[in-house]
Amino acid sequence: MSKHPSPATLTRAQEWALTLCVAVVTANAYYIHPIIGEVARDFEISEARIGIVPALNQLALALGILLLLPLGDIYSNRRLCIIFVSGQTFCMLGMALADGLALFTLASTLLGFVTIAPYLIPAFASKRVAPARLGQVTALLTAGVLFGILVARVGAGLVAEYADWRIIYWAAFALMVMVTLALPLVMKSELATSKQHGGSYARLIASVFHLAREHRDMRISALIQGLNFASFTATWLALALHLTSDAMGYGTDVVGYLAGIAAISIFSTPRLGRWADKIGARRARLIVSVVQIAGVSLLYPLGFHVLTLLVPLLIINMVGPSIDVTGRMTFLALAPEIRTRLTTFYVVAMFIGGAIGSVAGTATYDAGGWGGTCLLLLANALGILALSWHADRQFRAQEKW
């Protein structure tokens, strides 16, 4: 007989409530994307310098995931989520109240460090659904992440066009208060706390790097996704500066409208995931990497009118998340007891890439304008293609043996 009773199965209402929670806590890092120019002007700093805000947020997120996410193998996912979501709420209040760049950057950086809930909630849910519905619930929570990013970028762009940009952070703070109060009720039926990893916390963290050394294919996937996420952040931060520049003359609302293109990924990603199941993750990633280069190549020639920009942005937003999904597929089929720590390494690499992309995107635009940004993105896309080709070739060679 089991020592601990099995947790109750999640209801559909709980699944949807958790999805909304994931959307809200994910959105916090993305409000700045369409309004970065407004924030820079308000704090009277250069376009290159403002890139440090999202960069430090991404670096702190990477550090937080490395140091905090493995705690899910030791402590209650529910308890950790409640603690870290409460921390996010206070950080959002700090960003709303900040009267200078230093405090705003500090609050944003701390926000990144405690943004762990989007990665703990799927683990919580996976233990409380029938195996036959695991993929469905995981996809629902992934859609929550994409929806949070979408609403953050569209909503922030619209609000900042007609009101002070700080209102965005006050609204986000209010949403976080509601999530903080609701989460203990939504995350019911927690398993009794028990250590799933023997040894100390230091050994747990060290094991992340030990596993990474053992799984070279995962390291390649992590590097590819780091480059991929760097392109994502660089594209949208530079695009916000480009569209709101004197030469283009668009408002932040237009940046928000364009960000709505990301909605295509909510529908395309599950379909491309099923396609990747059929032909293999590495081959699928190689193909979408080629398509991504086609989209990136069109950014400069079509980048001087909002309507023509729709073409490359649709292509990029369709295939970008698929590179992430196929990358995760390469190691999530491994032993269950090591997946969380492999995911930790993968996500840390992703957000380090995001931090580099935040600085590189704004600095390159400041130095070389839209043309310089497009060259940076093309070089990144070529790197993704080369690594994807190498991983696919290596995997097929191993299969032959």
Domain ranges for the chain: 14-187+199-400
In this predicted structure, what is the pLDDT of residue 192? 46
- Lowest-pLDDT range of 120-129, 219-228, 275-284, 368-377: 120-129
CATH code for the domain defined by 14-187+199-400: 1.20.1250.20
* pLDDT, position 400: 65
The pLDDT value given to residue 356: 92
Using DSSP, state whether 197 is helix, strand or coil. coil
Q: 45-49, 125-129, 323-327, 343-347: which range is least confident on average?
A: 125-129
305: left (phi over 0), alpha (psi -120 to 50) or beta: beta
Select from 40, 254, 282, 35 the least CA-distant residue to 165.
35
- Say if residues 138 and 126 touch (Cβ distance below 8 Å): yes
- Please give the pLDDT value at position 3: 47
331 in helix, strand or coil?
coil
Which residue from 21, 25, 27, 19 is spatially nearest to 137, judged by alpha carbons? 19
pLDDT at 1: 41
pLDDT at 202: 85
Eight-class DSSP state of 45? -
Q: How many residues does the chain have?
A: 401
Q: In 69-133, which ranges are continuous DSSP H helix?
A: 77-97, 101-113, 117-126
For residue 365, the model assigns a pLDDT of 93
> Strands, DSSP E only, in 174-308?
none
Please give the average per-residue pLDDT across 354-368, as a whole number: 90
Taking residues 79-105, report their average pLDDT. 93
Q: Per-residue pLDDT averaged across 241-250, rounded?
A: 88
pLDDT at 4 over 70: no
Name the more confident of 276 and 262. 276
| Higher pLDDT, residue 207 or 134 | 207
pLDDT above 70 (res 225): yes
Q: What is the pTM of this model?
A: 0.78
List b or e across 41-78, with b for residues whose CB sees 16 or more CB atoms inside 10 angstroms.
eebeeebbebbbbbbbbbbbbbbbbbbbbbbbbbebbb
Highest mean pLDDT among 212-216, 222-226, 273-277: 222-226
Give the lowest-confidence range in 190-199, 256-265, 332-341, 357-366.
Answer: 190-199
